[in-house]
Amino acid sequence: MTERCYKIAVLPGDGIGSEIMAVTLDILQKLGQIYAINFTFSEALIGGVAIDQTGHPLPPATLELCRASDGILLGAVGGPQWDDLPSHLRPEQALLGLRSGLNLFANLRPAKVFPELVQASTLKPEVIAGVDLLVVRELTGGIYFGQPKGIFTSETGEQRGVNTMAYRASEIDRIGRVAFEAAQKRNKKLCSVDKANVLEVSQLWRQCINALVPEYPEVTLTHLYVDNAAMQLIRWPQQFDVMVTGNLFGDILSDEAAMLTGSIGMLPSASLGATGPGVFEPVHGTAPDIAGQDVANPLAQILSAAMLLRYGLSEAQAADALETAVAQVLRRGYRTGDIYTEGTQRVGCRGMGAQVAAALA
Ligand SMILES: NC(=O)c1ccc[n+]([C@@H]2O[C@H](COP(=O)([O-])OP(=O)(O)OC[C@H]3O[C@@H](n4cnc5c(N)ncnc54)[C@H](O)[C@@H]3O)[C@@H](O)[C@H]2O)c1
Ligand SMILES: CC(C)[C@H](C(=O)O)[C@@H](O)C(=O)O
Ligand SMILES: [Mg+2]
């Protein structure tokens, strides 16, 4: 087998980021030995730690490293110690800078219920068994980026906070295509989520998504308003295959979808552009309440590494092996605290990582 070489930018970030990243890199090293893949990991600062050390949440050197890499593994950023900073200086700003800087407009957030974790969910087993859905979230537009934005003071001295939800037709068209393509490869059902009963931006969204229908005749398209979609996700999640939506609605619905799987600690994501390296990160945040205790669930980060292999590096065999190892560890009964149920074996973050590594062999 000829060895393939990849440069991976590693951005652990804040809170549990460094814990879940460390175990993920060990697993990738082992996977590399098995599949003749040579990873060069280069670590860089992002988020709160970057603010503390450089004064900037996304130092230019970090963005440069990312641009020169084949893929980017990100932990999470943010935490209470940086919460009082003005919006444009906060750690979370680094995410927006990275996403827009690399033009990563398509965010794939798959929520798949492992049969072993049906008991770990707060929903009834018959409601969530077999759920396997994909949220396609637009990531470089919408209310996160629209202008004007800011806190303004009017002539009367009253402050006014402003964000603008705006989408250009071309932005809707390109995320719509990603979603239709994904649905075509999966179960051929696409649900577009908007708020077209009240928002003009959503009316254009619906119009542009509808315009793609003739190009994907095999895919059945439906539309839901976001409030109903939030309700349907916990009422009858099995009805969904692919869901496509804007930046803010996708952020909220993907956290909700995560809970179908038992924990937000289970949900990976891939952020992709038309070209260039993607960012692969868990959907969850820095979990300040459990940081530094070796109790975080590393599986979302590990499954994000599997998405890096699959979508970023076209290493499908290694991606399959990693996902199979995760399933096997769950089958063997190992659980971090967030997915623990009676009769299973409680492990910490490092313990879970070690089990996944062992299951690879
Ligand atoms: N992509 C990112 O970097 C990202 C995403 C979301 C939130 N954040 C930031 O993270 C910080 C904390 O945000 P939050 O508390 O709203 O959301 P969070 O996702 O960090 O935590 C929410 C809850 O889920 C739990 N949790 C999260 N990940 C877990 C894991 N892997 N294993 C076990 N339990 C886990 C936490 O303990 C907490 O109880 C904020 O600063 C926020 O802006 C960053
Ligand atoms: C931290 C925040 C900026 C981020 C987002 O809203 O996109 C996070 O919630 C996510 O889901 O990746
Ligand atoms: Mg989020």
194 in catalytic set:
no
225 in catalytic set:
no
DSSP letter for each residue of 80-123: GGGTTS-GGGSTTHHHHHHHHHTT--EEEEEEE--GGGGGGSSS
Classify residue 104: in a domain, yes or no: yes
Of the residues 261, 283, 309, the one at which a domain ends? 261
- Pair 44, 20 in one domain: yes
Per-residue model confidence as pLDDT tens digits over 21-64: 999 999 999 999 999 999 999 999 999 999 999 999 999 999 99
Q: What is the pLDDT of residue 1?
A: 61
Classify residue 303: in a domain, yes or no: yes
- Pair 148, 92 in one domain: no
- Pair 248, 315 in one domain: no
Q: How far is the CA of 184 from the centre of ligand 2 (A)?
A: 27
Domain tally, the chain: 2
Does residue 251's CB lie within 6 angstroms of at least one atom of ligand 2? yes
- Pair 156, 213 in one domain: yes
Position in ligand 2 atom list of the atom nearest CA 99? 7
Of the residues 242, 261, 280, the one at which a domain ends? 261
- Rounded mean pLDDT, 176-184: 98
ipTM value greater than 0.95: yes
Identify residue 272 by its one-letter amino acid code. Answer: L
Of 70, 251, 311, 338, which residue is the catalytic one? 251
227 in catalytic set:
yes
Cα–Cα distance measured from residue 9 to residue 25, given in angstroms and rounded to the nearest whole number: 11
Q: What is the pLDDT of residue 311?
A: 97
Which domain, by its residues, includes 215? 122-261
Classify residue 117: in a domain, yes or no: no
Classify residue 116: in a domain, yes or no: no
DSSP letter for each residue of 166-220: ---HHHHHHHHHHHHHHHHHTTSEEEEEE-TTT-HHHHHHHHHHHTTGGG-TTSE
- Best residue for ligand 2 mutational test, from 108, 251, 279 (most atoms within 8 Å of Cβ): 251
Residue 10 maps to which CATH number? 3.40.718.10
* 346 exposure class (CB count in 10 Å sphere: 0-12, 13-18, 19+): middle
- Whether pLDDT at 79 is above 80: yes
Per-residue model confidence as pLDDT tens digits over 313-361: 999 999 999 999 999 999 999 999 999 999 999 999 999 999 999 999 7
- Rounded mean pLDDT, 257-261: 93
- Pair 95, 211 in one domain: no
pTM tops 0.90: yes
Q: What is the chain's mean pLDDT, rounded?
A: 97
338 in catalytic set:
no
- Rounded mean pLDDT, 188-197: 98
Percent of the chain residues past pLDDT 90, beyond the cut:
96
Q: How confident is the model at residue 230 (pLDDT cuts 50, 70, 90)?
A: very high
